């Protein structure tokens, strides 16, 4: 159910962390030219480095002339140090298994070269990531064009309101994150409206709401409702935030009894007298909220299906 925009955004976000090998695979899959990595310049800059026994484990790098390949960089590390009259001898173990002995001067140069190579490699990987990110953004734009070209909902009846159901594109990434918070907000708002004019009763009801939500969803201990002030100095409910995985513990059929209790606290458990309109029973607000919660949970279950919809399920989703 994810659209091309959401999928591409997810890929772009992940590019900043993927390793070099994966970058090369992604670029090769797209048949994109991969720039060659240059040889790191020797800056010969003075830098503090470990000497003597403290250098064991330090990285070094050295170029060797390999027949058929020219100058080839080999990376290694210090595995032993032996002190002598000339300052000491460093035993180097290279990645290909060879060993070499270096004096202090050779070790210093190889140590600096390794530092240069590490920085050069990081810069090269960053450049590959930039190339892939640019390509992914282009693919995202292409997907958008394809989606809009195929979508005729914006060509017919252009004067229809933008919130018409037939014109809605559901972004699942944000729908689930925000809808649960919105339902919480509406329940708190209903509690404030019910207790209008009595701040002490309002605070008691809202505190009970918060405690009940905490007991079911187990959010962080800092989670609570907050009140601000509007431009006229009146109390105003601030937007509520809750991690989706926490709120999902509340908004499911296993927690329906707890949801009914939350509704009772916010809306009130004292039911209005049964009223009739043209011979039909008119439901009170508590009944309406309970019916809404059931329909809402059904809709969320249908929206989060991980398989293709059956025809009757599409109709059920429309009804929800």
Out of 113, 131, 151, a domain closes at 113
User: 60 with 81: CB under 8 angstroms?
Assistant: no
User: Would you give per-residue pLDDT tens digits along the chain (320 residues)?
Assistant: 334 444 445 555 567 778 888 888 888 888 888 887 665 655 555 454 567 888 888 888 888 888 777 777 788 889 999 888 888 899 999 877 888 999 888 888 888 877 777 667 777 788 888 888 888 888 888 887 777 766 665 566 566 665 566 656 666 667 777 889 999 999 999 998 888 878 888 889 999 999 998 888 877 777 888 888 888 888 888 888 888 888 888 898 999 999 999 999 999 875 545 555 555 655 688 889 999 999 999 888 888 888 888 878 888 877 77
Residue 78 lies in a domain: yes
- CA dist 161 and 158 (Å) reads 8
Residue 234 lies in a domain: yes
H/E stretch holding 292: helix 285-303
Domain identity same for 90 and 180: no
CB-count burial class (<10 Å; 0-12, 13-18, 19+) for 164: exposed
* β-bridge partners, 74: 62
CA angle 234, 236, 239 (to 5 degrees): 165
pLDDT of residue 6: 43
Residue 248 lies in a domain: yes
Q: Which domain holds residue 237?
A: 174-319
Out of 78, 113, 148, a domain closes at 113
* β-bridge partners, 221: none
Domain tally, the chain:
2
pLDDT of residue 276: 54
Domain identity same for 178 and 284: yes
Domain identity same for 185 and 304: yes
CATH number assigned to the domain comprising residue 80: 2.30.30
Tokens of 60: 């070094």
Residue 235 lies in a domain: yes
Residue 239 lies in a domain: yes
CB-count burial class (<10 Å; 0-12, 13-18, 19+) for 88: middle
Residue 283 lies in a domain: yes
Out of 97, 113, 129, a domain closes at 113
pLDDT of residue 48: 47
């Amino acid at each position: 159910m994810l659209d091309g925009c959401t999928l591409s955004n997810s890929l772009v976000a992940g590019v900043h962390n993927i390793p070099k090998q994966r970058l090369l695979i992604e670029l090769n899959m797209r048949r994109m030219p991969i720039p060659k990595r240059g040889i790191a310049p020797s800056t010969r800059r003075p830098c503090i480095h470990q000497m003597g026994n403290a250098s064991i484990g330090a990285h070094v790098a050295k170029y060797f002339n390999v027949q058929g390949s020219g100058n080839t960089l080999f990376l290694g590390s210090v595995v032993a140090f032996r002190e002598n009259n000339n300052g000491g001898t460093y035993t180097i173990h290279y990645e290909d298994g060879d060993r070499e002995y270096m004096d202090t001067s050779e070790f210093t140069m190889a140590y600096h070269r390794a530092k240069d190579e590490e920085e050069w490699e990081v810069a090269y990987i960053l450049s590959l990531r930039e190339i892939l990110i640019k390509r992914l953004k282009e693919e995202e734009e292409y997907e958008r064009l394809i989606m809009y070209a195929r979508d005729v909902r914006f060509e017919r009846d252009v004067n229809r309101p933008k919130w018409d159901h037939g014109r809605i594109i559901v972004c699942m990434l944000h729908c689930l994150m925000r809808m649960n918070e919105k339902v919480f907000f509406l329940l708190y708002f209903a509690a404030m409206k019910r207790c209008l004019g009595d701040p002490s009763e309002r605070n008691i009801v809202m505190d009970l709401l918060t405690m009940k939500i905490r007991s079911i969803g187990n959010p962080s201990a800092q989670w609570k409702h907050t009140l601000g002030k509007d431009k006229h100095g009146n109390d105003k409910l601030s937007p509520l935030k809750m991690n989706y995985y926490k709120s999902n513990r509340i908004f499911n059929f296993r927690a329906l009894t707890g949801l009914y209790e939350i509704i009772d606290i916010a809306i009130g458990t004292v039911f209005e007298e049964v009223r009739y309109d043209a011979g039909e029973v008119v439901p009170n607000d508590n009944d309406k909220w309970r019916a809404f919660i059931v329909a809402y949970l059904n809709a969320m279950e249908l929206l989060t299906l991980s398989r293709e919809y059956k025809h009757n399920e599409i109709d059920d989703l429309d009804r929800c």
